[in-house]
Amino acid sequence: MNRCSYDIKSAWPGLVESPAQIGEKFLRTLDALGRIDPIFKDWGTSNEDNSPKGRPIESLRPNFTSFVETRTELDGWDQPDPAYGYWLWATTGYYPYAPPNPFSMTFSVTAGCEWRNYNSLEAGRNILPPDPSNISFPVFRAALLTMLAIWPAPWANARAYYFRHDPPTQPGEPPFPQSGYQMPWLSYLCAERAARITVPDSIPTERTPDGGLLMIAAQTRFDPNNREHMARSRILAEIMIEHGGDPIAG
């Protein structure tokens, strides 16, 4: 089977924010990720969605609000509309005409939308699975908590997945629950939603600074071939399907 991919996603309800506010939070996220691990460095982006050209984030900092204003989402008639928010992304190790890189980490966010906002951190690039050396429990835990601290959300989920393949199941087991959460590795629910659930003792948990609950399927790199990892992930998937949110949003 194809090599496993990993990402973190979260989504939150409508929240109108200005380009200046969104830009400040976006840059703060990149800086905070950079303090977690050296894999988060040399960020770059582009203001052309389908262009391989780009610029280092550092060169954009002095006028970043102006850059954000060029990233207005489109409405149903493909016209820029601030009510739909602003979409930003940045990739580590980025340079013009950079090829897909399994060592890349890409952070993206749609924020300022009146209806739905979301962000993600993807390991690898352009559906290219990441190099396993970039995937670790401490890094993904810290990254998820960093994203929540800057972009508060009712749920967040770090997952493992196979592009265009269902999660594997061992002989004699029922199919893995189908959802956009795929195989949850670390799943978060805000305090209000966490109060509605009872988590089995087999699932390691910790309280987050905002009073939410982080549930953990594996305290090492998540391995879909590990029965214990998958058993705990199945429980997290069932919890998130019932109490999480719209995983497709991210």
pLDDT in tens, 98-142: 777 899 999 999 999 999 999 999 998 767 889 999 999 999 999
pTM: 0.93
pLDDT the model gives residue 217? 98
pLDDT the model gives residue 249? 43
Backbone angles phi, psi at 206, to 5 degrees: -150, 150
Question: Higher model confidence: residue 250 or residue 18?
Answer: 18
Asked whether the CA dihedral 166, 169, 171, 173 is positive or negative, the reply is negative
SS3 category, 104:
coil
**Average pLDDT for residues 88-96, to the nearest whole number?**
86
* 249, two tokens: 């949003």
Q: Residue 139, Cα to own-chain centre: how many angstroms?
A: 13
* 235, two tokens: 């429980």
Angle at 157 (CA atoms; ends 105, 143), nearest 5 degrees: 45
Helix (H) or strand (E) run with residue 107 in it: strand 105-111
* 138, two tokens: 């401490």
pLDDT in tens, 101-110: 899 999 999 9
From edge to edge, which strands make up the β-sheet containing 44-45? 55-56, 44-45, 86-91, 105-111, 116-123, 5-13, 155-161, 183-189, 213-216, 205-207
Domain boundaries, the chain: 5-249
What angle separates helix 137-150 from helix 19-36, to the nearest 10 degrees? Answer: 160
The answer to whether residue 80 scores a pLDDT higher than 90 is no
